[in-house]
Amino acid sequence: MIKKMYQLAGERRNLLNKGAVLTLIDAVFAAAPLFFIYLTINEELFAESINFQQVMLYVAGMAVCFLLQWVFLHWSTRVFYRVGFDLLTDLRIRLGEHIRKLPMGFFSERRAGDLNSVVNWDVQNIQNVPTYVFPRLIETVAVPAFIAALLFYLDWRMALATLIVLPIAAIVMKITMKFLDRLARIRAESSVEANSRMIEYVQGIQISKAFNQTGSKLQRFEEALRHYKQTNIDLVVKLAFPLAAFVTILELGFIIILPIGFYLFLGGSLMLKTLLIFLVLGLQLYNPIKNMVSYLPLLRIMAASLERIQAVLDEKPLPEPDDDPELSRFDIEFRDVWFKYEDADVLKGVNFSVPQNTITALVGPSGAGKTTIAHLIARFWDVDSGEILVGGRNIKDMKTDRLLSYMAMVFQDVYLFNDSIIDNIRFGNKDATEEEVIAAAKAAHCHEFIDKLPDGYNTVIGEGGATLSGGERQRISIARAILKDAPIVILDEATAFVDPENEILIQKAINSLVKSKTLIIIAHRLSTIAAADQILVIDDGRVIEQGKHLELVSQDGLYNRFWEKRQKARGWKVAKVQ
């Protein structure tokens, strides 16, 4: 645990070492008064006449030790708390930076609350390692070691009698730690489950209400919370016996001191004052070790959290090349691309090219692989085999940030941040001026409704843009893409779920977005892509048809069947059941 903490500390290891040295000095001064107690008993208590002045000198020495202990304790605490909070901040930033570079498969394999638990609760848990646990461990070792050295100096036989219980206690502790590891992992898993259920319940409340299922979803949330509560109770109850056994074994050490001490005393080989010193110092030796019981469960919880954090950091990001070339052209080409998700082939030998400044539409049934193609262009995943080229270069030979700087993407499911509208649009270009933001909003046909909001562009729109309609959110996302002004634009079902009025506005916004761009558009509404330079028909992970609208309609293929169904759907109406 401490070794892993040092690995995570990075450049802050020197501060950890400084805190450790200060805590060690603090522990020495914490144990030093016991030396003055030894001097008092050894030199004054059994003397014919007590030297009061000498006793007061010992008392003064103890007072100085207590004062210096406070100074170094205060100093070490400040150092460790600084390291703890800095480590927490650095670790969250490091996690965020690492997560950003991971392929999308990493996110699709995890529950909603998993990453939230790692970044928030697990990181928060390990903050206590440098601020609390590490200093206590140093004290637990240093103070007994100081006392043990003094005891061996006085009488090695009595010192061995005092320490004989420690190996037995260590065995019990080792067994307890293994048991505690299992309980801590179960607790961590139940915490993730409860967190995931909470997020699922809140995010799905609209659907739950619509289908009158709020009770059933709440029940799953309550069950997760009850399980989390039970794992916390188990952590305490099931550990009560082994931890009590650990403390009891240490208490037995004092019982061992008495008979052996009296035996040696009655045999004439041990002085009474030495026996008294062992009785006093023996208790002080056990106390720091017994205090481990108070933070041992906390230590294992932290260890479980650290394992989960390390598991995320061990996930391999997409490999980055050393070179970072700039592109002078922006055509796209797929060469025999195969891609598998888990055990299922999603793309099977896909070949096509998209000339610069042209419009290419992808159509096909749901699950055919259209969105996967769009995501692979942006290198959300790496292909299993084959090549994807942008501007004549394999996208694996470009840094991901460079590649994404050439692309603007508008998704079917728009996500807006809990921030002002101007900052949500400026997400496309953080250095854009207010005038540039407004110009992009006007081009995206969203300036009018923004201007009517209470605070205009400074209106905070809530998490996910909850206060806006679907069409308004979509137009803001297009304004964001317009502001980025990237040479490649990818539209993934941008008009799939909007009303006719918003569809017209969004279509106008898209027309402003794609001027002089290389455009790839995924659409179910075939009317929106009839003017495309080329249409690729995707089915079962393959390109089965390719051409312009009129060419494909004239063929007896899947596209023609889609078009005929679309023409029939235009005359669809609700019929009254007789």
Q: Which of 15-29, 199-213, 321-335, 482-496 has the lowest average pLDDT?
A: 199-213
pLDDT at position 210: 55
Q: Which has the higher per-residue pLDDT, 524 or 562?
A: 562
* Better-scored residue on pLDDT, 433 or 462: 433
Highest mean pLDDT among 34-48, 49-63, 294-308: 49-63
**Is the CB of residue 557 less than 8 Å from the CB of residue 383?**
no
Length of the chain: 578
Q: Are strands 359-363 and 385-390 parallel, antiparallel or unpaired?
A: unpaired
Q: Is the pTM of the predicted complex or chain greater than 0.75?
A: no
- Grade residue 353 by pLDDT with cuts at 50, 70 and 90: very high
Q: How confident is the model at residue 573 (pLDDT cuts 50, 70, 90)?
A: very low
Could you please report the per-residue DSSP string of 156-213? Answer: HHHHHHHHTHHHHHHHHHHHHHHHHHHHHHHHHHHHHHHHHHHHHHHHTHHHHHHTT-
Calculate mean pLDDT across residues 260-284.
81
DSSP string computed for 98-142:
HHHTS-HHHHHTS-HHHHHIIIIIIHHHHTHIIIIIHHHHHHHHH
What distance in Å separates the CA atoms of residue 158 and residue 151, rounded to the nearest whole number?
8
Mean pLDDT of 330-343: 89
- Extended strands (E) in 406-531: 407-410, 488-492, 518-522
Pairing mode of beta strands 518-522, 359-363: parallel
CA 329 to chain centre: 38
Return the CATH class of domain 2-313.
mainly alpha
Strand partners, 434: none
Considering only 184-198, 259-273, 495-509, 531-545, which range has the smallest mean pLDDT?
Answer: 495-509
Maximum mean pLDDT: which of 339-343, 372-376, 571-575: 372-376
Q: Which two tokens stand for residue 285?
A: 């030796």
Confidence class for position 202, pLDDT limits 50, 70, 90: low
The residue-averaged pLDDT of 282-301 equals 76
Which of 306, 161, 300 has its CA nearest to residue 242? 300
Residue with the bigger pLDDT between 280 and 375: it is 375
pLDDT of residue 574: 45
Q: Is the per-residue pLDDT at 376 higher than 60?
A: yes
Residue 351 C-alpha from the chain's centroid: 38
| C-alpha span between 248 and 176 (Å, rounded) | 14
What b/e sequence results for 239-249 when a residue is b if at least 16 CB atoms lie within 10 Å of its CB, and e otherwise? beebbebbbeb
Q: Is 154 a residue whose pLDDT tops 80?
A: yes
Domain boundaries defined on the chain: 2-313, 332-569
Give the residue with greater pLDDT, 529 vs 431.
431
Top-ranked range on mean pLDDT: pick from 383-387, 407-411, 437-441: 383-387
User: What is the average pLDDT across 148-176?
Assistant: 84
Which residue in 280, 415, 314 sits closest to 8, CA to CA?
Answer: 314
Q: How many CA atoms lie within 13 A of 83 on its CB side?
A: 29
Cβ burial of 282 (10 Å; 0-12, 13-18, 19+) is buried
pLDDT of 354 reads 92
Residue 375 CA, chain-centre distance (Å), reads 23
Compute the average pLDDT of residues 220-230: 73
Nearest to 444 by CA among 417, 466, 477, 467: 477
* pLDDT value at residue 509: 67
Split at pLDDT 50, 70, 90, the class of 536 is very high
Among 33-37, 244-248, 354-358, 521-525, which range has the highest average pLDDT? 354-358
**Looking at the predicted structure, is the pLDDT value of residue 308 above 70?**
yes
For the domain covering 332-569, report its CATH number.
3.40.50.300
Q: How far apart are CA 42 and CA 274, in angstroms?
A: 7
Give the pLDDT mean for 57-80.
88
Average pLDDT, the chain: 80
For the chain, percent of residues with pLDDT exceeding 70: 84
